[in-house]
Structures are given as structure tokens and as C-alpha cells.
Chains A and B, each alone.
Chain A
Amino acid sequence: MLPRLNRRVIITVAAATAIGLTLSGCVGDAEPELSDADCDTYADYGTFDGEEVTISGTIVEVEADRLVESWSDFASCTGIEIDYQGTQEFEANIRQLAEGGNPPDLGIFPQPGLYADLASSGFFVPAPEAVEANVDQFWSEDWKAYGTVGDTFYGAPLMASIKGYVWYSPAEFEEKGYEIPTTLDELNELADTIAAEGDHNPWCASYASDAATGWPVTDWIEDYVLREQGTEVYDQWYKHEIPFNDPRIVEAFDSVGDILKNEDMVGDVTAGLSIPFGEGGLPILDGQCSLHHQASFYEGFWGDGVEVAPDGDVFAFILPAAEADAPLAVTGGGEIVGAFSDSEAVQAFQAFLSSDTWANNRVELGGVISANSGLDASLASSALLEQSIEILQDENTTYRFDASDLMPGAVGGNSFFKGIVDWIGGESSQSVADKIEASWPAP
């Protein structure tokens, strides 16, 4: 009995040690390095002795590490302890947390619809003056509007991204003497020229993405609604002030259909539904097609050894405006910060996040951009991001959030995608628009 008991004890101790050792690998005991940062920059925010601010959002992994790094100097200089919790379930859970009286101090919202929803339920604290002053100084009216619900301004935008890029091969353009088009008509002429020269299709297209198959085409439609019909129609469209099957929206479908449902432009029209969207633009590298419409994040899809630069293997130009002298309008995504608490430490942090200092800090760490006009574009980590910052900072640029993110989930996350699958499969623009309109949830 005794030796057996001993063995049990040994096994238990051994297991506990092993688990302990493994778990200790998970903890980073290294205290955050006391930075040698110049605290003068942060002097205006005041000092708080170890006051804690919790902030939460959908940003995770490397992006979350960079986010935390972007405010580490601020934290050590002001003495505010900032605790960031990143989870992809943030959007699903935040409402329950708020209703349960247990939300974080600040939330980073990628969906303006959800943001407005929480604001109108009275969960947010209006933005402090310092934040509003920053936003008035550094952001355009379009952006401020996404942080405003009713007449109250609740919070500043954070980062941004741009959709509606057209990827191309600079080498091919130079060799054949193609020019970057400046209007949608010129773009179509360019595509016709490429088609006429004959050895390959002008456009690459692919839309497969599991349950969200079809979404790349929704970006097309949004870009065309915004460019051909203007911001007013675009806003009425996603707010459902005009029906989804309004003739102007159907017209945008038809304009896109001239490209995507045209065999001379994309080859086999329905093939795109079977090919994963991530592979869509790759044939450009082999010279099998020349143009591909996809957001700025596609930079990460080209693979190792492909240089993304104006003189590299591939680069992108923004889908042009309808008229040559018309101001550029772009669609994209971004985040807005909402505050559930109005303690002084939270307000100081909120003000810092809306400042040009933060935007520069974060962009310098790489991978993202912001629409903050105090941002130094040369800090961007790639030529494409630099170009994106310049587009966003241009005072003439109109910016609109991706409409499918602004529509109710039943449309923007379901019937719009399904409609696109049917539309590419051969259904008419009118009948697809009618179907999507019918699926719009009753208010």
C-alpha cells in the first residue's frame, strides 16, 4: 500500500510541476519597460496615479499588440494603467455588458450601426470637449458624422481602411502604354482596349467566401452607387429612405453588370463564384488578366516575394470618379471609440486617442492607416498605405462607410450576398433588387 501511495504522490507532484512550468510559459513577467519617452508631449493630459482605464474591441493578436504599444508611452507618462481586452465576440457581447452595467470604460466599434444603436439606447457618455476639438481639427465632417448620433457627438474615429482599389501590373501598363484612368468611362475604355488587344481578359474576378460568397461584388455595387449616384443617394440607400430596388440602385447594378456579367471582360461569368476571393487577383502576376477590384487589405494576399509598389510587380489605383473634375468619393471601413465612463482618466485617454500624436504612433508601427489629417503619410509602412492616407487626408475626398456594414444584418450580412450569387448566376438586376428589398426587415 505504502509504495503505491508514494507513487501516486510522485505522479501528482510531477503533473503539478509540469502544468506549472507550462503555464509559467504563458505569463510575461517582464515588467513593461520604463520608456525613455519624452514625456513633454503628454504633459497636457495631466497625471493620474495608477488610475485604471479598461478598453475593449475586436482587434486581436499582432494588431492588438501594436495597439497597446501605441499608447504605452502615454500610459507611463500619465500614470494611467490601460487594460486592453481584445475579442472577436466584442460586437456580439457589448450590448449585454452595457445592459448588465459592466461595460469597459471605452469600446472600439468597427460598425457604425451598432455604435448608433448603443448611443441611442443611452449607454454612451458624450465626448469631452478636448475630443471634439481634436476631431474638428483633424477629421473631416464625414468622419465626425459617424461619431454623432442625433445632435450629440459621442466619440472620435480611430483607424481607417479604403475599399475600391483597382489592382494592376505597373510593368504591363508601361509596356503597353496604358494610362491610369481618371473617370469610370476611361476605365471602361481601358478595359475595352485590353480586350481588343486580345490575349487575355481585362478583369479578374472571384467572389467565393463560404457563407459570405458574393461580398466582393457588394463592394463593387457600393462603389458605383457612390460614384454614379452621389453621396445623397448612397446615404438614403443604406438608411432605407429609398427602397433597395430604386431605379438608381438598379442602374448601379447594371453598370457593374456591364463588367462582371460580360464575357468579354471577365471570361466565364459564373466561374468567380467557385474561386476563393483571395485568389482572385493572382492571375495578374501571370499576365492572364490586367485589373482586379479589391480593398487595400489585398496587399497581404499577393504572397512572398511580390513587390507592391508603383514600380513593383503590382500596385493599385483608386476606382476613379464618374466625371473627370468630380471630387473623389471612396468607401471603406474604420473604427469609432465610444465611452461608457466619464472619469477624468478616461477622458484624457480618449483625447489622446483622437490626437495626431496617437495616429502617428500607431501608423509608424505598421499595417494600418488613419484618416487623421495630422498624420504624417510618410510614416506608413507601404507605398499603398501612404497613397491611402493621402486619399483620406485630401479635403476634397468624400468618405463613406461600406454600406453593407451599415445596413441591417438581415440584408447586409445575408440577402445582399445571396442576391449577388443569383445575380452573377444570371438573374436580372431588377429581380435581384426586388428580392433584397423584400428581405429588408420591417422597422
Chain B
Amino acid sequence: MRTADLIEKIVQVGLGLAVFAAVIGLILFLADKAPKKAKDVVQLVVFLAPAIILLAIGLIYPAIRTSILAFSNKAGDLIGLDNFAWIFTQPDAVRVVTNTIIWVICVPLISTAVGLAYAVFIDKSRGERIFKALVFMPMAISFVGAGIIWRFLYDYRGSDREQIGLLNQIVIWFGGEPVKWLQTEPVNTFLLIIVMIWIQTGFAMVVLSASIKGIPTEQVEAAQLDGTNGWQRFTNVTLPGIRSSLVVVITTISIATLKVFDIVRTMTAGNFDTSVIANEMYTQAFRANEPGRGAALALVLFILVLPIVIYNVRILRKQKEIR
């Protein structure tokens, strides 16, 4: 590229931006000058149209198309429920659904429980901020990054070679033989689940910790005066006080877990019986060239996520009403 080309390109970009600004300016000007009677309607349309058009192109149309694809074969002929029959009968596909269920049971429960316990124990302790930062930090790492880090932790080398995986090195220190962790079924699924828990615990901890601090001190003091012990205070004061936060945390993590893709893709690529719905959806649609099966899996995922989202929105709305 020569300087002349570069200048030409910069001028092109500049011109494009100027034209864009001019068009927007004109539309806004016209909306402002609309006759008084229709002014509200015109302004409403002008400001809502971009969002609605983008939603229609980016969300509604693809959703409809995916739904149609889910009932079609590769040639585009409608084949009814065959793709869904495949999901729930083929042993490999059934395994994928089972794995997803294991994920969605383990991750929200364990990460919320661990996050809650941690939040309660460090509450009002010295160095609370540092303790919080330590657990929250994994949240800042992308799923792919976390997957790679943990893959190194679980890495395997033959017993005659130097280990580079921490877990296997520990096994060797205790006199064991190195284990092919990520190939050993069903342990491998749980080893992947640990990665997700590691990431999500920080989220649960931070939200719940804030919520615990919101419990009125009067209630806690009253309970103390009544002669309760720590456990009784936890179950009778703290838990009811943070109930709504707890629901939000569990549902949010459940949704994230249902959609998990990156961790499985980077760590095992779905091999060794570890695949989950989102990973299989990608593999079927883009590697195996079976868009119908991919779309059917996407639809199953959508149906699984939907009730949780609805429940979550309702809880959030209720909370707003209380405030």
C-alpha cells in the first residue's frame, strides 16, 4: 500500500462518515419539523425504527429461519420431526443431552453454594476486598482463556516423560501413575464443569455478598439478642433476606451454563463423550454440514433457556416493584 492509497482510503472513510452524519441529521431535522399533530408519532417511529429494524434482521428473522431449518433436511425439504428424533434416539446425541443436563445441575448449584459460603465467611473480615478480588478475578478471563489454562493443568504426558500438567505432577508426587484426565469418561465432564464453576463462583459471591450487606443490622442484632447461634442466624435471617438475589444468581448461571460452548470446544472439542448441546450444534451445522440437525439442537437449547429467562425477568420485575 502506498501513501496515495492510504490517503485515498482515509478520504473515503471520512466521506462515508460525513454522508452518514448528513443523512441522520436530515432525518432528525425532518422529524423535528413534522406537523404538530403527528409529531409524537413521527418522532416515535424515527427513534424506534433503527432498533426494530436491527432486531428484525438480527434476531427475529434468524429465529424464524432456524426454526424452519430445524424441520428440514440438507436439501431444504421439510421432514417433520426427524431431526428431533435423531437428537433423542442416537446414542451419541442422547449423550450430548445428558451431559448438558449434568452441567446445568452441577454448575449453578455448586458455584452458588461455594460463592455464598465464601461471601458469608469473609463478610466483615479484615482484607475482605482482597479476598473478594481473588475469587472474582476468574470472571475477567474469557471462557477460551480459562479452557486453555485448565487444559494445561490437566495435561498428560507418558510416565516416562516430564509432566507439564499440575494435576498429574501431583499424582506422581504421591507415587501414582499419570492419568489421561480429559480422555477418562465420565471424570472428564466433571473436570470441565470445574472450570465453569471456577469462573462463575466469583459472580455468585459478589452479588450475594452485596445482598448480605443489604440485610438490616436490626434483624441480625435482634436475632443475636434472642440467643441464636451462627447457623440459626444464617438460615432464619440471612437466607430469607437474600432470597431474590439467590434466585437471580442461580438462574443467570443456569442460562450461561446451558449455552456453554467455549470451554468444551477448547478443552476436548467434544471428543471423549464430553460434548454439550451448544458444541454439538456448531459441529453439526458448520463441520458436519447438517444445518437441519444443528438448527434442531439450537431450538432445543432455546426451549430449555426460555423458561429460565421468563422466570428471571419476572423475579427482576417483582424486585423493582418492591423498591
| Contact of A213 with B by CB under 8 A | yes
A27 touches B266 (CB 8 A): no
Assuming A28-B1, A415-B288, A439-B288, is B156 touching A213 (CB within 8 A)? Answer: no
| Contact of B158 with A by CB under 8 A | yes
Residues from 264 to 278 in B contacting A, C-beta threshold 8 Å:
265-266, 269-272
Residue of B nearest to A214 (CB): B271
Binds A, one of B2-10, B29-37, B103-111: B2-10
B158 touches A271 (CB 8 A): yes
Residues from chain B with Cβ under 8 Å of A270 in the complex: 180, 183
B158 touches A267 (CB 8 A): yes
The listed residue (B156, B272, B288) touching A275 by CB distance below 8 A is B156
Residue of A nearest to B165 (CB): A274
Residues from chain B with Cβ under 8 Å of A274 in the complex: 155-156, 180, 182-183
> How many residues of A are in contact with the other chain, CB < 8 A?
30
Q: How far is the CA of A271 from the CA of B266 in the complex (A)?
A: 18
Residues from 129 to 159 in B contacting A, C-beta threshold 8 Å:
155-158
A27 touches B2 (CB 8 A): yes
The listed residue (B1, B3, B157, B271) touching A418 by CB distance below 8 A is B271
> How many residues of B are in contact with the other chain, CB < 8 A?
27
| Contact of B290 with A by CB under 8 A | yes
| Contact of A24 with B by CB under 8 A | yes
B6 touches A421 (CB 8 A): no
Scan B282-294; emit 1 where CB is below 8 A from any A CB, else 0: 0100011110000
Assuming A24-B3, A270-B183, is B265 touching A442 (CB within 8 A)? Answer: no
A213 touches B269 (CB 8 A): yes
The listed residue (A24, A273, A410) touching B289 by CB distance below 8 A is A410
| Contact of A283 with B by CB under 8 A | yes
Residues from chain A with Cβ under 8 Å of B5 in the complex: 27
| Contact of A23 with B by CB under 8 A | yes
Scan A74-92; emit 1 where CB is below 8 A from any B CB, else 0: 0000000000000000000
Q: How far is the CA of A24 from the CA of B1 in the complex (A)?
A: 10
Q: How far is the CA of A421 from the CA of B273 in the complex (A)?
A: 11
Q: How far is the CA of A283 from the CA of B161 in the complex (A)?
A: 9
Residues from 407 to 442 in A contacting B, C-beta threshold 8 Å:
408-410, 413-415, 418, 421, 425, 439, 441-442
B160 touches A288 (CB 8 A): yes
Residues from chain B with Cβ under 8 Å of A27 in the complex: 1-3, 5-6
- Which residues on A are within 8 Å of B, measured CB to CB? 23-24, 26-29, 210-211, 213, 267-268, 270-271, 273-275, 283, 288, 408-410, 413-415, 418, 421, 425, 439, 441-442
Ranked nearest first, the 6 interchain pairs of A and B with the lowest CB-CB distance are A410-B289, A211-B269, A414-B287, A274-B156, A414-B288, A410-B288
Q: List 22 A-B contacts (CB under 8 A).
A: A23-B6, A24-B6, A27-B5, A27-B6, A210-B269, A211-B287, A267-B158, A270-B183, A271-B158, A273-B272, A274-B156, A274-B180, A274-B182, A275-B156, A275-B157, A408-B289, A409-B287, A413-B287, A414-B289, A425-B183, A439-B288, A442-B74
- Which residues on B are within 8 Å of A, measured CB to CB? 1-3, 5-6, 10, 74, 155-158, 160-161, 180, 182-183, 265-266, 269-272, 283, 287-290
- Beyond A210-B266, A288-B161, A415-B288, 19 additional contacts (C-beta under 8 Å) are A23-B10, A24-B3, A26-B6, A27-B2, A27-B6, A28-B2, A211-B269, A211-B270, A211-B287, A213-B271, A267-B158, A271-B180, A273-B272, A274-B156, A274-B180, A274-B183, A275-B156, A288-B160, A421-B271
